[in-house]
Structure 1
Amino acid sequence: MSLFSFMGTLEIGLIFGLVAMGVYLTFRVLDFPDLTVDGSFTLGAAVTAALIVSGINPYLSTLAGCFAGAAAGVVTAWLNLRFNILHLLASILTMTALYTINLRVMGKPNLALITDPTVLTPFEGLGLANMYMKPLFVGVCVITVGILLALFLKTQYGLAMRAVGANKRMAQANGIVVKEKVYAGLALSNGLVALAGALFAQTNGFADSTMGIGTIVVGLAAVIVGETLLSSRKMLIIIFSCIVGSILYRLAIGFALNADFLGFNASDLNLITALLVGLALVLPQLRKEWKAKQAAIKANGGDA
């Protein structure tokens, strides 16, 4: 892998770190399997790109993209809480609707941003090459968001949200408004994913109606890989394990595609993704079985 490819992979890994944080919020914190992210990622990119092309300030456009993603999360929560639609089905309905909405927002399947200003434009005159400037800018954004998210989850409101995911009945018995926390959690989660889409569109110079396909798989893989490598109960470490997992996941794909002896081509990306996600799911179970076996051996040795 060349230096240029490595920096590009690092940049994408950092961006998808935001997706991993969003997925962690729904799957781990709220215990709410949410597939809306496949649509909200593209929605964030589509809204941001459409506004930038219309002449709106890139930072305001990015913020609007985040709010659009948050609104998509609220719709999923509303379908689930108001009409008792299964969370997976509610998120699939929202995701399906977002495909058409994204096309409507952009007006066409693909929207280019090559000649338009972006959030990166003010930093292009600092003398730093784009291959270094983009990962650095994205890295600062992602780390800042990660710190803020970890601090939020340690506040009283964040702890209440975590309590809802751990045990809804117990949380409700303690006076926590469960529905409010679910609405807030899904809004925050999809807002983060939309921010990732907005940054992806601006760093890569385009927004595409199909760019969000498989986002949930990447986010889940990043969370699982991060949890396997950095197992901790400290919220800051947990959040940053999502970022680390995302970077390692993208690097693994990059090395697999660039390793000639493996014989993979760009068209094999879905196969590589499936293999890596499967490995990420299997490794924690194998690790748990190995630890149980070692404990049993020590116990038997002690009895002897």
Structure 2
Amino acid sequence: MSLYSMWGALEIGLIFGLVALSVLLSFRILRFPDLTVDGSFPLGAAVAAVLIQADWDPFLATLMAVLAGALAGALTAWLNIRLKIMDLLASILVMIALYSINLRIMGAPNIPLIMEPTVFSVLQPEQGISDYVFRSLLMILIVVIVKCALDAYLATRSGLAMRATGSNPRMARAQGVATGGMVILGLAIANALCALGGALFAQSQGGADISMGIGTIVIGLAAVIVGESILSSRKLFFMTLAVIVGAVLYRFFVALALNADFIGLKAQDLNLITAVLVTFALVIPLLRKRLRTRGGN
């Protein structure tokens, strides 16, 4: 694998690290099976791309994309909490609706951003560093800031109430926690992170596409599972770190598999690679348990 491919895998892995944090918040912390991310990821890309093409500042366009993702997540939670629609079904309904909404926003199946200013092009220095290296370094900074902000929030009183809502909602309600509000806020934050990833992905790859959200939830879950298999801990700092590491490793494995000529894999085999990686990550804890059992005997 070339150096360019490695930097590219790091950049995309860090972008999907934001998606992994989103999945961690919804699936692990809130215990809410949220499939909205398959729609909020391209929603962030669509909003950012349309606004950038309309000569908006790319930072402001990215912020609007984040707000759009937060609204999508809040809508899913509202359907579940207020209308009593089953959590999984509520997220599926919003995900399906977002496909049409994204097409409405974009006005076409895809929007190119190759000649438009982006967060990456605006911040990049004119000399001294390659484009692909700078994008990866900027993504490291963004992901670190988001991770630290999420860690700090989840350590606050509101964050602890959200974690209690996911762990034991009945006990949380008994302690005076408004669990419905916590779910709405949690899913809003989760999908805002996913939309941020979509907005940055569109700006990194030079355009937004209506199909770019397909399989986002699978990638996010793969990152969470891979990360937890490698770095297993109940401490919040290591939990968030693990999913980011898992997302980066996932992209490295994919890039390595696609660039290994002797394996013969192609771009259309991406879903196959994902399935194999997730299966392997799920088997690792079982293998560890068996080895410990044998060692104890």
Q: CA deviation at 1:45?
A: 0.4
Residues 208-267 of structure 1: CA distance to partner in whole angstroms, max 9, x if unpaired? 000010000110111111111111232112111111000001101111111122221122
Q: Residue 229 of structure 2 contacts residue 282 of structure 2 at CA under 8 Å; is this kept in 1?
A: no
Q: CA deviation at 1:293?
A: 4.4
In the other structure, the counterpart of 1:11 is 11
TM-score normalised by L of structure 2: 0.97
Do structure 1's residue 197 and structure 2's residue 188 form an aligned pair? no
Write the distance in 1 (CA, Å) between the matches of 2:134 and 2:162.
36
In the other structure, the counterpart of 2:172 is 171
| Residues matched between the structures, number | 296
Write the distance in 2 (CA, Å) between the matches of 1:31 and 1:146.
20
Q: CA deviation at 1:126?
A: 3.7
Q: Which runs of 5+ in 1 are unaligned?
A: 298-304
SS at match of 1:83: coil
In the other structure, the counterpart of 2:61 is 61
Q: Residue 43 of structure 1 contacts residue 69 of structure 1 at CA under 8 Å; is this kept in 2?
A: yes
Q: Identity of aligned pairs, percent?
A: 56
Q: Residue 110 of structure 1 contacts residue 207 of structure 1 at CA under 8 Å; is this kept in 2?
A: yes
Q: Which has the larger radius of gyration?
A: 1
In the other structure, the counterpart of 1:121 is 121
Q: CA deviation at 1:114?
A: 0.9
Do structure 1's residue 211 and structure 2's residue 186 form an aligned pair? no
Q: Residue 65 of structure 1 contacts residue 198 of structure 1 at CA under 8 Å; is this kept in 2?
A: yes
Write the distance in 2 (CA, Å) between the matches of 1:202 and 1:97.
24
Write the distance in 2 (CA, Å) between the matches of 1:294 and 1:166.
33
SS at match of 2:111: strand
In the other structure, the counterpart of 2:162 is 161
Do structure 1's residue 25 and structure 2's residue 28 form an aligned pair? no
Q: CA deviation at 1:85?
A: 1.2
Seen in structure 2, the aligned counterparts of structure 1 residues 175 and 293 have a Cα distance that, compared at 3 Å, is: farther
SS at match of 1:108: coil
Q: CA deviation at 1:292?
A: 4.0
In the other structure, the counterpart of 2:259 is 258
Q: CA deviation at 1:121?
A: 2.3
In the other structure, the counterpart of 1:70 is 70
Write the distance in 2 (CA, Å) between the matches of 1:194 and 1:167.
28
Q: CA deviation at 1:285?
A: 2.8
Q: Which runs of 5+ in 2 are unaligned?
A: none
SS at match of 1:218: helix
Write the distance in 1 (CA, Å) between the matches of 2:294 and 2:90.
41
Give the RMSD, CA atoms, in angstroms.
Answer: 1.1
Write the distance in 2 (CA, Å) between the matches of 1:57 and 1:108.
22
In the other structure, the counterpart of 1:133 is 134
Letter in 2 for 1:198: A
Do structure 1's residue 186 and structure 2's residue 187 form an aligned pair? yes
Write the distance in 1 (CA, Å) between the matches of 2:194 and 2:222.
15
SS at match of 1:261: coil
SS at match of 1:260: coil
Q: Residue 217 of structure 1 contacts residue 277 of structure 1 at CA under 8 Å; is this kept in 2?
A: no
TM-score normalised by L of structure 1: 0.95
